[in-house]
Structure 1
Amino acid sequence: MTPAINLLKKKKVPHKVHQYHHDSSNTDFGLEAIEALNQDGEQVFKTLLFCINGDPKALNVAVVPVAKKLDLKAAAKAAGAKKAEMANPDVAEKATGYIVGGISPLGQKRRLPTFVAASAQHFSTMFVSAGKRGVEVELSPSDLAKLTNARFSDIAR
């Protein structure tokens, strides 16, 4: 069990856990998940951390489709900042308690401002990391937003 799965169980949120063999030589975690789950790259989402206004500790979470990239200008605007840049992976791991490639938007060490790509709302369910490489969780976008206090924003391109 991961903190993400434990949170879903504790809150009694409907979800489905999907496990697959993670190839340790594969560093394209999102593509690996899409292929293993046989899902659309628009419905499987990656969790990225970005910092705002040049402060590496001013972290925010972005949840965007694997098939897209995070639009840093749009992310900055969504966060009410002038500038956004990708967070240092070591900082992201320390802040979330998860390792890169397995960072879940759920059950992080501390709650960070979270933004989910608006396109998630087109699906009845979406896939996000369950907090471990090779484990994804499927849940409704609205449940994800409620649990993370997220806002839906046009942050993907």
Structure 2
Amino acid sequence: MARTRQSGGTPATATLDRAGIRYAVRAYDHDPAATSYGTEAAEALGVEPARVFKTLLVQGERELSVGIVPVDGQLDLKAMAAALGLKRVSMAEVATAQRVTGYVVGGISPIGQKRSLATVLDASAEQHDTILVSGGRRGLDLELAPSDLLAVTRGAVAGIARRP
């Protein structure tokens, strides 16, 4: 996989470029009527949903954190809290997630956010050579190795997803 630079990049691609991390840009035509951004990405890119991961923000007792889970799963809030060493977490409000990350919902990347937040990647990512995460806008995903995602986000791995 070659590192890809694009004009009109995003904070996510700029962060990866600065870190020297190899990634591939996977763009698709976003349908504004889509109700599930992750499922739309998997279908448009012809990738199994288990390899496409969504970025979710949770509110802990004092601060926000990032959970990254496959689009065909759900974030297990109890498991996420345990991974963070907290008693409980709840989903962050949409407006808060957008303000804190600098990205819009459906395009929130775990990479290149305005502030560095504690990040947990679901353990299922380690079953794949590469995974896809949002590149910082709707219709743009980035394909990279899970180990590189963990390195650039300073993230941890834990079983935080459950299947519906």
- How many angstroms apart in 2 are the aligned matches of 1:129 and 1:81? 27
- How many angstroms apart in 2 are the aligned matches of 1:49 and 1:149? 16
How many equivalent pairs are there? 154
Deviation at 1:93, TM superposition (A): 0.3
| Alignment match, 2:72 | 67
Deviation at 1:26, TM superposition (A): 1.2
TM-score by length of 2: 0.92
Q: What value does the CA root-mean-square deviation take over the aligned residues?
A: 0.7
- How many angstroms apart in 1 are the aligned matches of 2:133 and 2:90? 22
2:57 counterpart of 1:52: no
- How many angstroms apart in 2 are the aligned matches of 1:8 and 1:59? 22
- How many angstroms apart in 2 are the aligned matches of 1:146 and 1:76? 21
| Alignment match, 2:143 | 138
One-letter amino acid of the structure 1 residue matched with residue 18 of structure 2: K
- How many angstroms apart in 1 are the aligned matches of 2:24 and 2:87? 38
Most deviating of 126-135 and 25-34: 25-34
- How many angstroms apart in 1 are the aligned matches of 2:29 and 2:118? 31
TM-score by length of 1: 0.96
| Alignment match, 2:40 | 32
User: Percent identity over the alignment?
Assistant: 47
| Alignment match, 1:13 | 21
- Residue from 99, 104, 108 that aligns with 2:104: 99
- How many angstroms apart in 2 are the aligned matches of 1:151 and 1:52? 16
Most deviating of 5-14 and 67-76: 5-14
Consecutive unaligned residues in structure 1, runs of 5 or more: none
Deviation at 1:9, TM superposition (A): 1.2
Most deviating of 136-145 and 21-30: 21-30
One-letter amino acid of the structure 1 residue matched with residue 56 of structure 2: L
One-letter amino acid of the structure 2 residue matched with residue 107 of structure 1: G
| Alignment match, 1:83 | 88
User: Following TM superposition, where does structure 1 have runs of at least 4 consecutive aligned residues deviating by more than 2 angstroms?
Assistant: none
